[in-house]
């Protein structure tokens, strides 16, 4: 199995499919690189070299005790890009992975980056604070933490059966297999890693990171996202990134990498080829 070693000795698992211009995909919480399989197959068959890694503590990567925060996630991404000697790379981040991409650009710049895509992503800042009054109340994230400690297996099943794929909305019907894949990936993550990642994606302020974006950027978000609300995520990010292109999926939930995979694949391909 392919691994790279991060700066603190953490083993980061990755997949590397196809040939051509490189695209690196960063996954959401509490998932792993398997969550990108539809996009990986499509883009690799369309002439790109597509790479997706398991964030530390998730999937097949080392379940570290520490480093479960955005600075280290971004540094792990940098270690992957450096180890594979990638240049002119397009970075695509879904949900928490969008935060990883934003923090990477904020910490490491865009010398090796050609384009960026934020999909259902957590930037610019999810948590409601005095200077971010439109954010999400901390009680929502405290509920995730409590659910994780009480019975995280059931928490993941409830998220998959409800808000993540929008199954609690009329007309949305994520298959049982789709829900089971979410649960399986979640349970592969380390308990502490997934727990601490809740703070990483909810309480990290990416506003200054977005201000440093100087490459073509596409922001994609569903306007019925119940996990990262559109007004908090995609709409706000697009407003902060100079020249960003915003695509809104009407009625779409959070998990559009699965529920809207065909539309997302086409939009990604069009942007990457432009």
Among residues 254, 258, 260, 267, the one annotated as catalytic is 254
State the Cα–Cα distance between residues 53 and 116, nearest whole angstrom: 17
Catalytic residue status for 191: no
Q: Which residue has the tokens 């407003």?
A: 239
Cβ contacts of 174 within 8 Å, gap of 6 or more: 160, 165, 166, 167, 255, 258, 259
Among residues 26, 61, 90, 95, the one annotated as catalytic is 95
Radius of gyration of the chain (CA): 17
Complete edge-to-edge strand list for the sheet that includes strand 217-222 = 3-5, 11-17, 48-53, 21-26, 89-94, 113-119, 217-222, 245-249
The phi-psi region of residue 131 (left if phi > 0; otherwise alpha if psi is between -120 and 50; otherwise beta) is alpha
State the Cα–Cα distance between residues 246 and 265, nearest whole angstrom: 16
Count Cα neighbours of 218 within 13 Å in the Cβ-side half-sphere. Answer: 22
User: Among candidates 163, 200, 164, 169, which has minimal Cα distance to 182?
Assistant: 164
User: Among candidates 155, 191, 201, which has minimal Cα distance to 65?
Assistant: 191
Catalytic residue status for 175: no
Catalytic residue status for 131: no
Among residues 75, 225, 258, 267, the one annotated as catalytic is 225
Catalytic residues: 95, 225, 254
């Amino acid at each position: 199995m392919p691994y790279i070693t991060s700066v603190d000795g953490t083993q980061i698992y990755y997949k590397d499919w196809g040939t051509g211009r490189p695209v690196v995909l960063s996954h959401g919480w509490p998932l792993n690189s398997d969550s990108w399989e539809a996009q990986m197959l499509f883009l690799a068959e369309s002439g790109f070299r597509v790479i997706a890694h398991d964030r530390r503590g998730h999937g097949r990567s080392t379940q570290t005790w520490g480093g479960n925060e955005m600075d280290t996630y971004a540094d792990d991404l940098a270690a992957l890009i450096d180890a594979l000697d990638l240049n002119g790379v397009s970075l695509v981040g879904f949900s928490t992975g969008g935060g990883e991409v934003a923090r990477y650009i904020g910490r490491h710049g865009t010398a090796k980056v050609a384009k960026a895509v934020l999909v259902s992503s957590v930037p610019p800042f999810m948590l409601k604070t005095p200077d971010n009054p439109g954010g999400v109340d901390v009680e929502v994230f405290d509920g995730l933490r409590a659910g994780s400690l009480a019975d995280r297996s059931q928490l993941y099943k409830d998220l998959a059966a409800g808000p993540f794929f929008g199954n609690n909305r009329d007309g949305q019907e994520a298959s049982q297999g789709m829900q089971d894949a979410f649960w399986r990936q979640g349970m592969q993550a380390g308990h502490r890693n997934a727990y601490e990642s809740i703070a990483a994606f909810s309480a990290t302020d990416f506003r200054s990171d977005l201000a440093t974006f100087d490459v073509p950027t596409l922001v994609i978000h569903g306007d019925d996202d119940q996990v990262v609300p559109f007004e908090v995520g995609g709409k706000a990010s697009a407003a902060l990134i100079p020249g960003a292109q915003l695509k809104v999926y009407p009625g779409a939930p959070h998990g559009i990498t699965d529920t809207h995979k065909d539309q997302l694949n086409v939009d990604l391909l069009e942007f990457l080829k432009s």
